[in-house]
Amino acid sequence: MPRSVLFHKPYGVLSQFTPEAGHRTLRDFIPIPGIYAAGRLDRDSEGLLLLTGDGALQHRLTDPRFGHPRTYWAQVEREPSADAIRQLAGGLSIDDYRTRPAKAKLLAEPPAVPPRDPPIRFRKSVPTAWIELTLTEGRNRQVRRMTAAVGHPTLRLIRCAIGGIGIGGLAPGEWRDLTAGEVERLHLIGGIP
């Protein structure tokens, strides 16, 4: 059975194995041949990244028609109003597309996450808040574009779950093998055989 792993991608790491001058890549953390990222996180985003050597699973996790849920924690400038949260949940027009409806909520407390290195910019006069967004699509820099569209730029972005599988207690840079049950659950995403 091909290997599949869950990786906690640190800030500043590229979601690729190919070396690139001046940047850390997956190769710096995961010494497993024959696995590939099933999706991407931007260099300035952190959190859960799934890697697999299972071609069918790779396809299921990257083909938009399966619409698997991805949950993010976004630290944003200022506290969003209830109306801003409704707009995020209802779908937004951004550039040349409209986002699908999403689950969105303001978190009462910041999530228990390790400090980022380097830390986000701190401005004494501009408070921050954390929101949780669950999307079923993954366009380029979508969460950042969505929060900016409602007037709350994203300062820090962490993907905390994919298809109901969470990042758990993994520290940035750590990885673990997915269990057989987790792989099976991911193969069932989207309800399409």
**Active-site hit among 28, 42, 63, 117:** 42
d(CA 17, CA 29): 10
d(CA 136, CA 162): 10
Q: For 112, how many CA atoms within 13 A lie in the half-sphere containing its CB?
A: 5
Q: Counting beta carbons within 10 angstroms of the beta carbon of residue 117, is it exposed (0 to 12), middle (13 to 18) or buried (19 or more)?
A: exposed
Provide the pairing of β-strand 24-25 with 93-94.
Answer: unpaired
Q: For 138, how many CA atoms within 13 A lie in the half-sphere containing its CB?
A: 21
Q: For 75, how many CA atoms within 13 A lie in the half-sphere containing its CB?
A: 21
The verdict on whether 42 is a catalytic residue reads yes
Q: For 81, how many CA atoms within 13 A lie in the half-sphere containing its CB?
A: 5
Of 4, 2, 3, whose CA–CA distance to 165 is shortest? Answer: 4
Residues involved in catalysis: 42
